[in-house]
Amino acid sequence: MNNDRFEPLQPSDVISSTEEWFMPHTTYTLEEFCQEGRERINFDGDYPEEDWVIQEMDCRVLQADKPGWRSGKMRVRVQVVVDFAPDQDKEDSEKPDLTVSSTSLDTIRKIVN
């Protein structure tokens, strides 16, 4: 199946596969699948036993906006996003806020002089 034919599923879409993979059963909603996936990821640096970062498998999908079961492939791609919030330095917290919206021109003159 060509990669550009893949379409995102909705949380309430029902997936049925012949493989259990890491799910305890072969029919589940996308929402259940994602929840199980989140529980499988260990944030202490360990990876799950299975290689499931990019995986494809045969399945059938039942969607509310489409008639009946459709056969095809399910592709699972896990994207990890790491955000960072630096600690505020003591020097930064003591500096006056010089943004135009919170400082008048008189306050800036006092700071500069």
The pTM is what? 0.57
**Between these two residues, 34 and 13, which has the higher pLDDT value?**
13
Q: Does residue 101 have a pLDDT over 80?
A: no
Q: Does residue 12 have a pLDDT over 80?
A: yes
Which pLDDT score, from 0 to 100, does residue 23 have? Answer: 83
* Cβ within 8 Å of residue 108, ≥6 positions away: 98
Which pLDDT score, from 0 to 100, does residue 15 have? Answer: 93
Which pLDDT score, from 0 to 100, does residue 1 have? Answer: 44
The dihedral of CA 30, 35, 39, 41: what is its sign? positive
Q: What is the pLDDT of residues 17-37, one digit of tens each?
A: 887 777 888 899 999 988 887
DSSP notation for 59-96:
EEEE-TTSSSEEEEEEEEE--------PPPPHHHHHS-
